[in-house]
Amino acid sequence: MGNVRSFIANRARDAFRLQRTGVVTGGKKRHFEELGPALLQLKKSTRELPDGYEFELPADNRTYQLLTEWAFQERLCCPFLDIGLRFDRESGPLWLRLTGRPGTKQFIKEEFEVANSR
């Protein structure tokens, strides 16, 4: 299990380092500098799960487009994440579900500002 956590920590550090040093270009730059921050601003609530978190987002077309573009890029950056999108019935909210193997939950908590959730 230590190797898994080490792998996740290293991937997270690499992504963070690329983002902060400006090495990120093209679609990755948009992912880190536009899509991620935009989705964090849209986050309405957070649910803690045993192996990750769910984030409530507005169920509108703009948010869905941002989220699907972000999710496609995120799975390339962080392949250890399980990513799920769900619309609740009867015009309910849109949920982003992020889960994974042991060690992933802490990464999600830090990367997606769970402590500062609204």
Is pLDDT larger for residue 112 or for residue 14? 112
113: left (phi over 0), alpha (psi -120 to 50) or beta: left
Mean pLDDT, residues 42-63 taken together: 96
Residue 71: pLDDT above 80? yes
Q: For residue 97, which of 50, 62, 65 has the smallest C-alpha distance?
A: 50
* Mean pLDDT over the full length of the chain: 80
Domain range for 110: 2-116
CA distance 43 to 56: 6
How many independent structural domains does the chain possess? Answer: 1
User: What is the pTM assigned to this prediction?
Assistant: 0.73
Mean pLDDT, residues 18-46 taken together: 71
Q: Residue 10 carries which side chain, given as an amino acid letter? A: N
pLDDT for the residue numbered 96: 97
pLDDT for the residue numbered 85: 96
